[in-house]
Structure 1
Amino acid sequence: MALAELGVVVLDCPDPRALAGFYAEVLGGSVEGDGDWADLKLPDGRALAFQAAPGFTPPAWPAPEHSQQFHLDLTVADLDTAERGVLALGAKPLDAEDRSRGWRVYADPAGHPFCLCSS
């Protein structure tokens, strides 16, 4: 028997509503909340949350001396189309070396790494 169940993944960031808006454009859903906390309610019922973090420093990737802490894997039907979309929304490519594999690594506007992965 489990002791708990996962409620929501929370990302620290300088502007919760702005980062929730970025992920709403990528994943769909609606943004709720203002100020120090925002929720992204996804169409399938899941959610991501975003919390203001004064003095936020984005993770360094790839950097063996600095952990990336975590990253999101986002499944997409077409890597090239999804890549154009996230770049237009303000993502930055982190690993453009190997275009033949089934995933690509980016940073969101606050600097958190995420991957687009072929479905």
Structure 2
Amino acid sequence: MRRPRLPDPAALARFYQALLGGEINRPDRWTLDADWMTLHPPGGPVLAFQRAADHRPPRWPDPDHPQQLHLDLGVPDLDAAERDALAAGARLLDPGPPGRGWRVYADPAGHPFCLVRQASA
């Protein structure tokens, strides 16, 4: 019998910290342990990562293995952000055609997210 993959909340928190910055497990209203981690990005919402014993990684864009969340992260330089995301452990899922302003990636637990080029002000 194949053992299910359990996403590591600490690894996911560190992955998103590498992309967004912020503080992991800031003492506040959250109960924190090895199964529940938080990331407090600067000026943004708190992200929480919980271990799921029966975790089935999404297979984007397959609806039989649906997304459990999807973040669109605005970035000023898509190529630089891609290098950072890949170095942090992301996988490129859809580079899109040349010149498209967004690309799709998977985080280490398989959740898809997009890096989206921000419009110049």
TM-score when normalising by structure 2: 0.81
Q: 1:13-92 counterparts in 2 under 5 A?
A: 14-32=7-25, 33-92=32-91
In the aligned structure 2, how far is the partner of 1:47 from the partner of 1:40? 6
- Structure 2 contact 37–48 (Cα < 8 Å) conserved: yes
**Equivalent residue pairs, number:** 107
Query: Which structure has the highest strand share of the two?
Result: 1
Q: Distance in 2 between matches of 1:112 and 1:65?
A: 14
Mapped to 2, the partners of 1:97 and 1:29 lie a distance apart of: 29
Runs of 5+ in structure 2 lacking a partner? 1-5, 26-31
Question: What SS does the aligned partner of 1:116 have?
Answer: strand
Structure 1 residues 69 and 110: alpha-carbon distance in aligned structure 2, compared to 1, 3 A threshold: closer
Question: After the TM superposition, which of the residue ranges 100-109 and 38-47 deviates more from structure 2?
Answer: 38-47
TM-score for both structures, normalised by structure 1: 0.83
Q: Which moved more, 1:89-98 or 1:107-116?
A: 89-98
Structure 1 segments of 4 or more deviating over 2 A? 64-70
Cα distance in 1, alignment partners of residues 8 and 65 from structure 2:
23
